[in-house]
Amino acid sequence: MVQEQIEVKRISKQGIAFDIELKDPRVVSISGKLEELIKQIEELRSIMIKLKEGRSYTDHEVITASQELDVVLDKYQEMMMKNNANQDLELK
């Protein structure tokens, strides 16, 4: 059986590419995908901190960077929950 993988790439305003969706996340190894997401989280977090310097938290660019980080954090959380659910099923 051939599984399809569809990755949607987005380029943040800071120029970092990150994928936000997979049709079937099982196609990619969970640990590799989590490592990739962690790297993206670290990069986006660093960018947001640098953008915040000398600006308020309500600055448009700071908010945009925060929202981009939120997207990747949500994807990380979703993958962790799926991974935990899969592990629970395997134990039964």
Tell me what pLDDT residue 82 has: 84
pTM of this prediction?
Answer: 0.64
Q: Are 20 and 40 in contact (CB under 8 A)?
A: no
- State yes or no: pLDDT of 90 exceeds 80: no
Contact 25, 79 (CB under 8 A): yes
- Greater model confidence, 47 or 85: 47
More confident residue, 1 or 51: 51
Better pLDDT: 3 or 11: 11
Task: From 66, 68, 80, select the one nearest 16 (Cα to Cα).
Answer: 68
Residues 8-41: tens digit of each pLDDT: 444 555 555 555 454 445 545 667 888 899 999 9
Query: What is the dihedral sign for C-alpha 49, 50, 56, 62?
Result: negative
What was the pLDDT predicted at 23?
A: 46
What is the SS3 assignment for 44? helix
